[in-house]
Amino acid sequence: MIIQAVSTFVSAFVVAFTVQWKLTLITICVVPTIVVAVGICVTLATKLESRQLEIYSTAGLLAEEVFSSIRTVHAFWLNPLLLGKFDKFLDEAMAIGMKLSPVFAVLFSTEFFCVYAAYGLAFWQGIRMYFSGEIRESGDV
């Protein structure tokens, strides 16, 4: 997947520079903005998700221990106590998950804004270049 994504990225720029280099240089300014936004958001999301996975791991361990000693748990009526502990772990994980929502909101809104702004810029500048005669065919836009 990585090889496919990188080769698509590189070949898209090769084709773009070959067909219309000036328009490509105008719209390439969007790429660093997207890279910075994705880099910041992925860093934050990775930290939060790793903490969330630790909590899920601890909750899973607790559940495994409860199921392996279900007779003892049932004999001493420990179900509510252990269920409360398990719910605490899930509440912690949910709190961290709620912190992830704004990170993904910033990531996707910035990314899609940049992409659609680049489309708008490319079409606007491409039409201007077409009418001024710099681009011969409209398909090159």
Between the alpha carbon of residue 66 and those of residues 23, 30, 83, the distances in Å are 63, 53, 10
Q: How many CA atoms lie within 13 A of 109 on its CB side?
A: 6
Q: Is residue 35 part of a domain?
A: no
Q: Is residue 3 part of a domain?
A: no
Number of domains composing the chain = 1
Per-residue pLDDT of the chain (141 residues; tens, 9 = 90+): 999 999 998 999 899 999 889 999 998 989 999 999 999 999 999 999 999 999 999 999 999 999 999 999 999 999 999 999 999 999 999 999 999 999 999 999 999 999 999 999 999 999 999 999 988 888 877
Contact 52, 58 (CB under 8 A): no
Give the residue among 120, 131, 97 at the shortest CA–CA distance from 27. Answer: 120
Q: Is residue 19 part of a domain?
A: no
Contact 38, 107 (CB under 8 A): yes
Which range of residues forms the domain containing residue 121? 50-129
Question: Which pLDDT score is estimated for 125?
Answer: 94
Q: Is residue 66 part of a domain?
A: yes
Residue 84 has φ and ψ, to the nearest 5°, of -65, -40
Question: Which pLDDT score is estimated for 137?
Answer: 85
Question: Which pLDDT score is estimated for 118?
Answer: 93
